[in-house]
Amino acid sequence: MQDPIDIDIRAIIPHREPFLYVDRVIEHEAGRMVTEWEVRADAHFFRGHYPGQPLVPGVLICESAFQAGALLCACDERDAIPEGAVPVLTRIADARFRRRVGPGETLRCEVKLDERVGPARYMTAKLTSRGEAVLRVQFVVAVTAGGL
């Protein structure tokens, strides 16, 4: 595991436990970020999602990518978000799941900014675990003024 970059995730995005699915930022450069999320065995969703055969819901794997995208928007200097504005998911496209994720795994997310059109940021995320592809998804976040 790489050493994380010193980025205060909670100061950047509004998500909190139990709905925060990024634990650390591993890499960041203009237009690209790599994050990790350690899937804890005692996570709340395992109690009701396939009891006895714990499986991370696909929508939460996607959410990890979207949170990484919001972090990228906020941290990328050339893509700074105005004071009081927040990135909000506006489109999901071409989500392709490759394998299941269970308790104790670490999801690694590489998110890239593909294009910026006004307030919209078009992004692609690739998630892996244990060196294997988990998800590839394209999505759009729009930076909205005035918060939520």
Question: Annotated catalytic sites, by residue?
Answer: 49
- The span from the CA of 145 to the CA of 148, in Å, is 8
Question: Which region holds residue 44: left if phi is over 0, alpha if psi is between -120 and 50, else beta?
Answer: alpha
Q: DSSP class of residue 31?
A: T
Task: For residue 96, give the nearest of 121, 120, 68, 61 by alpha carbon.
Answer: 61
- The span from the CA of 82 to the CA of 144, in Å, is 9
Q: In what order do the strands lie in the sheet with 86-97?
A: 24-29, 32-38, 106-117, 120-129, 132-144, 86-97
